[in-house]
Structure 1
Amino acid sequence: MRDPKKAAGAPHGKRGTNGASSAASDPSTDGGYNAGMAVFSYIIGGIIVWSLIGWGLDYLWGTRWIVLAGALLGAVGGFYLSHMHGLTSSRKTADERHASSAPSQDGKDNAK
């Protein structure tokens, strides 16, 4: 039986150049949303993981404060990761006043 949702000329159900998938993959249309979701995921993921580690250590050692330290460490670590991936910097493409925070392509340090 044939699936009516698939395009007739497209192999394996892939859309052609006129499909909506090409517009959704354009980095200029949804770059801010994707970067925001990545920052949110890093920070919330860090809080959850390190809080669980702190909760486990609290249970083993009979303390009550390590879960809070783990949550704080996770939030700081998530922000650090998002900053190192270049998701939290405000770059202006038309205005070249801000230097790029990414490493150079040749691997050398650009410091003078």
Structure 2
Amino acid sequence: MRDRKKAAGAAHGKRGSTDSTQGPADVSTDGGYNAGMAVFSYIIGGIIVWSLIGWGLDYLWGTRWIVLAGALLGAVGGFYLSHMHGLTSSRKIADGRHAPSAPSQDGKDNAK
């Protein structure tokens, strides 16, 4: 529920008011770092988990190659999960165009 005093202060431009025109993209500026860490975690976690599973199967069956297949499967699975969560695709703005890489000189979005 909104505070009526804060809403009234924002309408009159008083100090301490927040700008309500900020979109969800303005909330966090470290989204690229967080997405990179998530991709890294998925891939490394997949390699560790599936390598341990492969190591256990190698121990049970007396082979030596399943641990390597498990590591490869974990890496591919981690990349697949990060891709399905949208962490490896380029960011796009609302109308479907690619987001600009830097602000333009005139302050407008001139990305093509």
TM range (shorter): 0.5 to 0.7
Partner of 2:87: 87
Q: Using the alignment, how far apart are the partners of 1:63 and 1:53 within structure 2? A: 13
Identity across matched positions, percent: 96
Number of the residue aligned with 2:40: 40
Unaligned segments of structure 1, at least 5 residues: 1-25, 99-112
CA distance in 1, matches of 2:56, 2:96: 48
Per-residue CA distance 1:27-53 (angstroms, 9 max, x = gap)? 431100000000000000000000000
CA-atom RMSD, angstroms?
A: 1.7
What residue number does 1:73 align with?
A: 73
CA, structure 1 residues 40+75, in 2 after alignment: closer, same or farther (shift >3 Å)?
same
Unaligned residue ranges in structure 2 (runs of 5+): 1-25, 99-112
CA distance in 1, matches of 2:54, 2:40: 21
Cα 1:46–1:88 shift into 2, 3 Å: same
Displacement over 3 Å in runs of 4+: none
Aligned-pair CA distance for 1:97:
3.6
Partner of 1:62: 62
Deviation at residue 94 of structure 1 after TM alignment? 6.8
Q: TM-score, normalised by structure 2?
A: 0.60
Matched to 1:69, the amino acid is A
| Aligned length in residues | 73
Structure 1 residue aligned with 2:52: 52
Deviation sequence 1:33-89 (CA, Å, 0-9, x none): 000000000000000000000000000000000000000000000000000000000
Show the 5 A alignment for 1:3-42.
27-42=27-42
